Structure 1
């Protein structure tokens, strides 16, 4: 197990605010997506990740979604668990995918911060969303994948430029 200072240092290169854009195709419609990500240190040697996706449709309508998740180090080097709820003893813990909630964890491997979300639907089928943010000159290269029952159903990439 790494000392706390070693664990905290792993996230340091990823800290900051980043913005970018990409286009996705849904049916016959091409949608513009504005993306922003903020990664901040947390008191527990973990980090807080916030991201916003704003989608602009061809008809001028827009939709924005924002998510914020705290992550804390685990005993396994480079792996962080989400701290999305507090248990009976006041400890931050992940959500329960068997209750229809997403199970979320993060991994830092080399120059990539990856966040994984596992969803189990009422029939027992699953979906995994992967967000890989790799250090790049001037920011982060983002690769998003949605995998449903083992098949990639969506893949999006973008350069997120450092804002700070």
Structure 2
């Protein structure tokens, strides 16, 4: 599928798909959906991941994060809490909360989430969503102390 040049509003919509990943030698199906839409002066990204285990159990996680433009072109700050002046601001990674930001580069919208553990170690999660014909190519990576420990790739079809 070929990529196309994009502005943030070209990502707006709902996308759905699934991927298979190997965890501890076991193949697991993972259904995924993403909704990207206009929000105040920026945009919001919501995503759900449902993992199915071989014994029939499933685990669902849903996240929604609002983003606002920063003073740097194509970089967006997360607006995950409200300060005492009513302004939406990022969470504080030094308090064990994730620091989240987004970057639009060409046809790819990337979300990064950095966590600082109690002992000072770090983990970064990357979500790269690239516009392609019919939807998004999604690459998720979890990086712990500079080493990639998980990667999931999927095509998410545009649903609306």
Displacement of 1:28: 2.6
Q: TM-score, normalised by structure 2?
A: 0.95
Runs of at least 5 residues in structure 2 that lack an aligned partner in the other structure: 1-5
Runs of 4+ in 1 over 4 A off after TM superposition: none
Runs of at least 5 residues in structure 1 that lack an aligned partner in the other structure: 1-8
Q: TM-score, normalised by structure 1?
A: 0.93
- Matching of residue 159 in structure 1 with residue 123 in structure 2: no
User: Counterpart of 1:13?
Assistant: 10
Q: Deviations over 1:20-47 (max 9, x none)?
A: 1001111132111000000010121x10
More contact order relative to length (CA 8 Å, sep ≥ 6):
2
Displacement of 1:10: 2.5
User: Counterpart of 1:6?
Assistant: none
Q: Deviations over 1:18-77 (max 9, x none)?
A: 001001111132111000000010121x10100000011111101100000000001111
Aligned residue pair count:
155
User: Counterpart of 2:30?
Assistant: 33
Matches within 5 A, 1:85-100: 85-100=81-96
Which of 111, 114, 126 is residue 110 of structure 2 equivalent to?
114
Q: What is the DSSP-based 3-state SS (H/G/I as helix, E as strand, rest coil) of the residue aligned with 1:108?
A: strand
Q: What RMSD, in angstroms, separates the aligned Cα atoms of the two structures?
A: 0.9
Of Structure 1 and Structure 2, which has the larger fraction of its residues in helix?
A: 1
